[in-house]
Structure 1
């Protein structure tokens, strides 16, 4: 399922260690490292706060490749009754059509409950995310035209095998299934972090359901 580009759709399962970067405000910066090579695979940059540059506007988030090339740009749509986010391919240009969009649910409840996101992109499939991003325990499920569901990506807490210690929420593992676009998976991470990440310190945070319609 190529959403950003075919080159990010590995034939084998891909594991990324994702870490919030300390020199950004909470929710704005990530670095993702490939388990096979140990090298930097993706990073998230923010604009309008003294960081970054390029074509992005202030307040936008950019997903970059290891050499700093722009892959996705995520921005909050304004005005909007609920939190609504849009993602664009590469460095967003004026008049460019969004690759996907996301909104926060208006369902009432405790912190972390009812966080619902709808995404749209150019492909024939449907996606949803089950579980809780706040707890770093959720999975991306794709529904094919035949109705069959497949887990294409998963977010889980990282465990230090040597010390047998579960690491904090600032470091987690993103598992990307064979054939799924790893760059798009990181775009989902950025959206979830913006919408549900502020509930991460709430011990009673419930499930965050991300429903995605891929056109």
Structure 2
């Protein structure tokens, strides 16, 4: 049987991000390490624990926290309330922490179309008020921030994440989800992250698609 559980050693996310300038291949297990828990457990190519998501809530929880191997919050994925569309917000760290407000990084929206399409979701940079920087005016997106488009099929575990910096810019693939070579079922799959893209954000996209697929 294919080994899924991690080794004793753990790997810090910053180590995963820079691995000889090559694409990083992670194994995602759609299962929590906690007994009777729900979530995800993510390993590197050596079987070391990298990320985890743990939840006891049934169904599709409104808020999910992506943690590193030591349990530190990296990103929070929160479903937006009272929205006319299916929208989620992605925050740095633990958005529920009372110590300090977590910076908002992205707004994600499920792609809705009456026609068959490969598009599944879109992530746009969170808009920050210019008044927060000392000036007046309307909200603006961070300079140089990318938009991300997700295409494929989550149920088939076949996804591509594309980045584009703006209108007219050629988009590039920054991450992909694909099935494992061994027949281990749909709850174990690969997440391939291209150089320069944040593995934690790639995993946040997986969590988003799982939320959208379950809702």
Q: CA deviation at 1:195?
A: 0.7
1:27-78: per-residue Cα shift (whole Å, max 9, x none)?
A: xx0001001x21001011236x39xxxxxxx842110000111001111111
Equivalent residue, structure 1, for 2:170: 148
Q: Hey, what's the Cα distance between the residues in 1 that align with 2:122 and 2:77?
A: 14
Q: TM-score, normalised by structure 2?
A: 0.70
1:33 aligns with 2:33: no
Distance 1:151 1:159, change over 3 A: same
Q: What RMSD in Å do the two structures reach over aligned CA positions?
A: 2.8
- State the distance in 1 between where 2:214 and 2:178 align: 14
Question: Of residues 136, 141, 157 in structure 1, which corresponds to 2:157?
Answer: 136
Change (3 A) 1:113 1:130: closer
Answer whether contact 1:134 1:197 (CA < 8 A) is retained. no
Q: Distance in 1 between matches of 2:205 and 2:92?
A: 13
Matches of 1:114 and 1:126, distance apart in 2: 14
1:158-214: CA deviation from partner (whole Å, max 9, x where unpaired): 111xxxxx332111100011121001101111111111256xxxxxxxxxxxxxxxx
1:60 aligns with 2:63: yes
Paired residues, what number? Answer: 176
Unaligned runs of 5+ in 2: 1-12, 127-141
Name which one, 1 or 2, has greater alpha-carbon Rg: 2
Q: Distance in 1 between matches of 2:54 and 2:158?
A: 24
Q: Identify the range of structure 1 (13-22 vs 85-94) with the bigger mean alpha-carbon deviation.
A: 85-94
Instruction: Report the counterpart of residue 54 of structure 1 in structure 2.
Output: none
Structure 1 pair 46–181 and aligned structure 2 pair: CA distance change class (3 A) = same
Preserved CA contact (<8 Å) 2:94 2:102: no
Instruction: Report if the CA contact (8 A) 1:82-1:106 is conserved.
Output: no
Give yes or no for contact 1:8–1:183 (8 Å, CA) kept in 2: no
The TM-score, its normalising length taken from structure 1, stands at 0.70
1:81 Cα deviation (Å)? 1.7
Q: Are 1:159 and 2:168 matched, yes or no?
A: no
Q: What are the ranges of 5 or more consecutive residues in structure 1 without an aligned counterpart?
A: 51-57, 161-165, 199-215
Q: Distance in 1 between matches of 2:163 and 2:109?
A: 19
Deviation at 1:7, TM superposition (A): 5.4
